[in-house]
Structure 1
Amino acid sequence: MKVLQLIDSLEAGGAERMAVNIANIMVDHTQGSFLCATRAEGILFNAIDNRVGYLFLNKKNKLDVRAIRTLMRFVKDNNIDVIHAHSTSFFLATIIKMFNKNVKIVWHDHYGNSEFLQQRKHKVLQFCSIYFSHVISVNQTLKQWSESHLNCKKVSYISNFVVNEKTNDKVTQLEGESGYRIVCLANLRPQKDHFTLLKAFNDIVKEQPKWTLHLVGKDFEDDYSIGIKQAIQDLNLNTSVFIYGSKKDVQYILSQAEIGVLSSKSEGLPLSLLEYGLASLAVVATNVGNCDEVINNDKVGILVEANNYVTLKKGLLCFIENIEIRKKSASELHQRIVNEFSSNQISKKLVDIYSNI
């Protein structure tokens, strides 16, 4: 069995990380593991195992004939049995399926705005789902949505998972004093609601001036990004809040922090939480998507209401002011991630899905 992961880009997003992670672990569980980035490469290119067959299409539009032909030839030449399409790459996978009846499609739904599914546009997806053999959803809400709205009878919930980075890069040195750092690993997008986080931290730093906040994630240099930078200026947080952009050495960055935070308005199952846990950070996160599954309903972290800077502030202060509670929570979350969200657990489920279709 040979499986191709299909993803739009290799930028440092959750869906992109999962596509790379799955391609890497499938090397040891299939006859051939492949990955295709359709529109853009990115920072995750260096994370691809050298045993994974790789293709970059440089697709310019939805119906780029050259790109479609290139992928059709790649699938045929490598005798690929399954295309595991992530997020919006389902459309290209469907075109390939129309010309190659033998290939099977598994679609992986990473939709981050699962709190606002009523706004989701899905007519094209609904049509394409006729050609899907299986749908994988990253949380139960998305699973129920797929079962109600798509034309594919086989739908599974499989959680995201985390793997140890093989890179030993230690490049990014965080600002601020060791032992007093909070990190937010999230691309600068409205869904992540950095403004509520900044408002909460602005109150915190007045009580705890040693603490610093570190924003790590892709900067799209758009209105949202400009607004964040302006808010930092307006709140006089220039010496307490730092923006780094996308980074390769995520595990090294996390090793320099004490607390990991997510202030999102909506999520699927955020990979950031799993990475925080793997790095043994104490975690404060908004109770959206499947964050409660990771945090285990406040047992191994603190869940707070979304879009509420007061509860977010209280959650962060709980860990800031109580070192023993912080260390205990971090240790218990780390053990939970190792036991429940490891690649060993997920690889078995994926192989079963691939085999059964």
Structure 2
Amino acid sequence: MKILNLIDSLYAGGAESLLKNFVIEAKNYPNFKIDVCTLYSRNVYKEDLLKNGINLYDLSLPFKYDFSGIFKLVKLIRENSYDIVHVHLFPADLFGALASLFVDKKTKFIFSEHSIYNRRRNFKLYKPIDIFVYSRYKRIVCVSNLVKEELINYIPRLVSKVIVIKNAIPVDDIKEDIQKIYDVLFVGRLEKEKGVDILIKAVYEIQSKQSLNLKVALVGDGSLKSEYKKLVKYLSLEDNIKFLGIRRDVEKLMRLSKIFVLPSRYEGLPMVILEAMANRIPIIATKVGGIPEVIEDGIEGLLVEPESKDELTKKILYLLNNPSLREQLSKNAFEKVKSEYSIQSYTQRMLKLYEEVLSEGS
């Protein structure tokens, strides 16, 4: 079976990391040949794919809505006679839907919905476009139960084609005892939905009212990076908060940090939560999206309300001052991610889905 996975880019994000891990794991199944295609040339994970013998095609589109990419995509699908085209993220879903109109009907299209929310849902004019886009996919794979619920609430007619296959990661049993460098670590896009501003303000509260001299690392990039840097400077936190940019050693940084904080305003099922669990770093996260499906408050991590700077401040102080609790939370989280969110199980389910979709005919 020949499959093409289409995604905007292989930039450092959760969907991109999941795709990378999946196609590498799928190399263990010789009956499936999986290639990857990106719309844009921002491929952080390019070398990981190439060294594992995975074909990577780059359409090298110069801007987001360069619809000449549809013809490049159609040509690629035809030349390689793909059985399945598996699409991730927007606007790749739009490109995939339009390409499906111009290829042989034997090629089946499926889409992975990675988020609980997108801005298009706020505008009625976009809904007919979304209805058309989703109609071109045989299955829509949601990364959490809540993502599924919200999508069906948005377009009820999709109920028969939506399934849930939860995010997953490779899990390594090796445990290292490393001297901690950072008190708090954040990994994610520097965008409003991730709530980095709330974390910065919580750090300010701790610095202004406690004797702790926090060391905080912010890993990632985004459109609000300069704004967040200005906020850090305004609050005189330059010595406490470091912007580390895009990093390829996130797992090591997790092992070098005491706690991981994800103060998101909304989420799907963030891969970075699973990565933190697998790397045995205790977690504080907000009660949004699929996070409560993975973390039970007080068992695998601590949960806070979104937008609550005060609650986040209290939980950071509480966890930093309780090393035994940090150890117990990280142990519980590791056991859970190992048993329920392994990339091996995810890959088996996804390959089975490919077989099911292909067996259904047109």
Q: TM-score, normalised by structure 2?
A: 0.88
Q: Does 1:136 align with 2:137?
A: no
Partner of 1:349: 349
Q: Specify which of 155, 160, 163 is matched with residue 156 of structure 1.
A: 163
1:105–1:131 contact (8 Å) kept in structure 2: yes
How far 1:263 moved relative to its partner? 0.6
2: distance between equivalents of 1:179 and 1:145?
A: 39
Change in 2 beyond 3 A, CA 1:277/1:203: same
Partner of 2:111: 107
Partner of 2:249: 249
1:126–1:150 contact (8 Å) kept in structure 2: no
Partner of 2:59: 57
Partner of 1:285: 285
Residue identity opposite 1:218 in structure 2: D
2:180–2:257 contact (8 Å) kept in structure 1: yes
Change in 2 beyond 3 A, CA 1:103/1:63: farther
Partner of 1:126: 131
How far 1:22 moved relative to its partner? 2.3
What are the Cα deviations for residues 1-60 of structure 1, in whole angstroms up to 9, with x where unaligned? Answer: 121110011111122222222222222234201100112323222232532121000124
Change in 2 beyond 3 A, CA 1:76/1:5: same
State which drifts further: 43-52 or 126-135. Answer: 43-52
Stretches of 4+ aligned residues off by more than 6 angstroms: none
SS in 2 for 1:160: coil
Partner of 2:205: 203
How far 1:151 moved relative to its partner? 5.0
2:203–2:214 contact (8 Å) kept in structure 1: no
2: distance between equivalents of 1:291 and 1:261?
A: 12
1:113–1:191 contact (8 Å) kept in structure 2: no
Q: Specify which of 93, 96, 103 is matched with residue 93 of structure 1.
A: 96
1: distance between equivalents of 2:222 and 2:182?
A: 24
Partner of 1:299: 299
SS in 2 for 1:258: strand
Counterparts of residues 267-282 of structure 1 (less than 5 Å)? 267-282=267-282
2: distance between equivalents of 1:99 and 1:266?
A: 36
SS in 1 for 2:260: strand
1:183–1:213 contact (8 Å) kept in structure 2: yes
1:219–1:245 contact (8 Å) kept in structure 2: no
1:258–1:281 contact (8 Å) kept in structure 2: yes
Residue identity opposite 1:154 in structure 2: K
Give unmatched runs, 5+ long, in structure 2: 173-178, 358-362
Give unmatched runs, 5+ long, in structure 1: 166-176
State which drifts further: 91-100 or 79-88. Answer: 91-100
What are the Cα deviations for residues 172-227 of structure 1, in whole angstroms up to 9, with x where unaligned? Answer: xxxxx83552100011001011111111111223424243111001143xxx3222
State which drifts further: 308-317 or 42-51. Answer: 42-51
Change in 2 beyond 3 A, CA 1:210/1:137: same
Q: Specify which of 66, 72, 75 is matched with residue 74 of structure 2.
A: 72
SS in 1 for 2:212: coil
**For the aligned residues, what is the CA RMSD?**
2.1
Change in 2 beyond 3 A, CA 1:258/1:117: farther
SS in 1 for 2:163: strand
SS in 1 for 2:306: coil
2: distance between equivalents of 1:314 and 1:11?
A: 34
Change in 2 beyond 3 A, CA 1:45/1:150: farther
2: distance between equivalents of 1:340 and 1:208?
A: 40
2: distance between equivalents of 1:303 and 1:117?
A: 28
Identity %: 23
Q: TM-score, normalised by structure 1?
A: 0.89
SS in 2 for 1:43: coil
What are the Cα deviations for residues 79-106 of structure 1, in whole angstroms up to 9, with x where unaligned? Answer: 3111110012112212222122111111
2: distance between equivalents of 1:52 and 1:293?
A: 32
How far 1:353 moved relative to its partner? 1.2
SS in 1 for 2:221: coil
